[in-house]
Amino acid sequence: NAGVTQTPKFQVLKTGQSMTLQCAQDMNHEYMSWYRQDPGMGLRLIHYSVGAGITDQGEVPNGYNVSRSTTEDFPLRLLSAAPSQTSVYFCATRQGGSSGANVLTFGAGSRLTVL
């Protein structure tokens, strides 16, 4: 049982390049989300999805794009990377699409550096 799998673990981009961070889960969780972690700022929500075909913005959505075509996958796209997007990105899932009471399961993270 893999849980939440994020790829790649590390990535270096140049300003203006595009890339996709992948998140896959095998727990049949309805809810999937992307957070970014920056020193002194904790985790901030970028985008989330409560089910296939449904996505919504979090606290810091600018510069990121998401889609949810299947229950298992929730990719995060950077269309034109900027140095301000240098961060560690976490995918997190939970049972129950709309309850903030349920526990999040996190992936191991993807460290992105934009030069």
Q: Binding segment for other proteins among 17-25, 65-73, 78-86, 98-106 (CB under 8 A)?
A: 98-106
Q: Binding segment for other proteins among 19-27, 64-72, 74-82, 94-102 (CB under 8 A)?
A: 94-102
83 three-class SS: helix
Number of H helices, E strands in the chain: 0, 11
**Among 34, 64, 74, 90, contact with other proteins (rule: CB under 8 A):** 90
CB atoms within 10 A of CB 76: 23
Residues in region 32-51 near other proteins by CB under 8 A: 33, 35, 40-45, 48
> Residue 27, interface with other proteins (CB under 8 A)?
no
Question: Is the sign of the CA dihedral 53, 86, 106, 42 positive or negative?
Answer: negative
State how far the Cα of 2 lies from the Cα of 64, in Å rounded to an integer.
26
CB of 89 to other proteins, least distance (A): 11
